[in-house]
A and B are shown apart, each in its own frame.
Chain A
Amino acid sequence: MKKNILIALPMILFMASCGNHVLGWPVSDGPASITKVEKDNVKVICPTGAPSVAFYNHAIDENFETNGTPSNIVSFLTSSSPYDAVVIDTVSGLKAIKNGAPFKMHSTLTFGNFFIASTGHDENKTLDPTDKIVLFGQNQTPDLIWHYIYGDTYDSSIEYVTAVSDAAACLASGKNVATGSDVDYVFVAQPVLFATLNNANAKTYGKAGVYANVQELYKEKSGNKSMIQASLFVKNQEEYSIESYLKSLENDINAAVEDPNKVVEGMSKISEDEAKAKFGIAANAAKAVLSQNNGLGLGFKRARDIKDDINSFISIFGMDAISDEVIA
């Protein structure tokens, strides 16, 4: 009897630990029958930069917080998180859910803000394997996207830098300061690209420019799918719903894409410097980048409506397709 218990106990523990997971993704226990109450003070955290611009109407909202170091935001995808919604890059958010974070993917807010910029050095003005290319974030999103689009054709010409700020420095100087080599093309993101191209003190000022829109290259390669960059994840709450908050966010985003002046109106509720700190971008810069064919890649699409795009995007990162239970 004692022996049987000893054999059964680890099995019970194993089964209990698998209870809410199938193939790594969480699975719900069945449809909830509780009517949820709409929450008033919805607490949200978002990284500064492109995704935070979506919240331009929340400049003076104390419940809307931003963080200047995107990787720090993963720490808030826990059960003790004080936030009802967390905006983070899609891959990190989904990985956290796979590891047990009590959140669900609700919608995607940015659909890519990557660009390939030319320093103006390349005489034939065409990207080829003889050109020197700078990429930021080795083995991270920019690197993986680049290789998804171009394969290994340019690998011998690539030099890596750590962050987008380093890539911007290469674009501004036309040189990779770390290696001393002359640079022809730089993989960079908005809104840093806008600031760099408009820096009159930069050595490449007036010569540098946008060579290619990575989002368009991605669409061509993937069969018209969108790049699923930053998404909003909602905390699993049995009593509360934040749907009306998110509906108003959707309206704000659509309004801003249609009329970028709305962003300036919203962000101007605080001083220019405070807005730069809170959103990681000045109001006028956000307006200018949005006006350039929505250079921030802002949008609002429910995860359930773009499941194929999500699965296609995360497959680049070696992740399995998501189950319906991951989606809010």
Chain B
Amino acid sequence: MRSSLKKSLYSLFGVVIFILGWVIISALIDENTMIFPDPVSTIRETFVLLGKPYVYKCMGYSILRTFIGFAISFVSALVLGTIAGTLPNAKIVMAPIFSVMKSIPTASLVFLFLVLAGARNAPIAMVTLISMPIIYEAVVRGFENVDRTLIDASRIDGANLLTRILKVQLPSIIPFILVGVASSFSLSFKIEIMAEVISGSTTNGLGSAILACQRTDPTNMVPIFAYSLVAIIIVALISLMFMPIESKAKTSR
């Protein structure tokens, strides 16, 4: 109890330092509204935004697209990770592919997906491509850490490969998958917003809203900061949601 209170106080201290830093930078930069708005005007604008139905539409669509991209990546990573986890040669074949996927500059991929999938769907494809290697690695790591005695025991019991994967290995790797999911979902949401901005999409979405603010009045950064604050709040909520799952998964590993 005392340690959790201490932890909360430290977190609060971190928030205070962040806001203080924000106030100082904003005061140092002369052009407050145009370059670096202060926390007060940003928070005031955030409340204005939160009163508009459009913002909730944008949040909803950005989260929905993140979910779609993430679901595609989760299923693909699970299938490919299972193959790589059970067949060592398949893991070697997939290694360069996933290395390339991890190192391709995100911005250049947006332009590729823009042509292949259109501005509306390019962010979904981006989320899929960015989160897939993270979940894939979590799955493979999970397979590598499955207790050998369990696999041997199932072999002695006469279980075939499919039964062994479904009934022994996959249940054992769930904690690893959950950690992978927890660490990549917030990142996916950020990628979604960035991809919306780069792809120039004008359909509902937080990235599209940020782009629209920048296009309609480039001399006023306050709405851009306010939309970013909305995105930060969403990411914080997602992280909070995943926190108990992640800590439970880490202890059960």
On A, residues with C-beta under 8 Å from B are 48-49, 65-70, 72, 75-76, 78, 82, 164-166, 168-169, 171-173, 177, 191-192, 195-196, 199, 201-203, 271, 273-274, 276-278, 280-282, 285
Contact = CB atoms under 8 A, between A and B. Distances in A.
Contacts of A68: 200-202, 208, 211-212, 215
Interface residues of B, number: 32
Nearest to B200: A69
Interface of B: 31-35, 52-55, 111, 114-115, 118-119, 198-202, 204, 208-209, 211-220
A282 B212 CA distance: 10
A202 B221 CA distance: 12
A195 B216 contact: yes
A67 B201 contact: yes
Contact of A177 (B33, B35, B111, B214): B35
A188 to B, nearest CB: 10
Contact of A168 (B54, B208, B213, B219): B219
Contact of A69 (B52, B198, B216, B217): B198
A172 B216 CA distance: 14
A135 B220 CA distance: 20
Contacts of A281: 216
Contact of B212 (A169, A177, A192, A276): A276
A75 B114 contact: yes
Nearest to B53: A271
B33 A201 contact: yes
Q: Is the interface of B mostly helix, strand, loop or mixed?
A: helix
B203 to A, nearest CB: 8
Nearest to A80: B115
Contacts of B215: 48-49, 68, 165, 280
A169 B213 CA distance: 14
Nearest to A203: B31
Contacts of B202: 48, 65-68, 277-278, 280
A82 B118 contact: yes
B208 A277 contact: yes
A203 to B, nearest CB: 8
Determine which residue in B118, B204, B219 has the highest number of CB atoms from chain A within 10 A of its CB, and name it. B219
Contacts of A65: 119, 202
B204 A201 contact: no
A166 B219 CA distance: 8
Contacts of A172: 34, 219
B119 A277 contact: no
Contacts of B214: 165
A102 to B, nearest CB: 15
Nearest to A83: B118
B31 A177 contact: yes
A280 B204 CA distance: 13
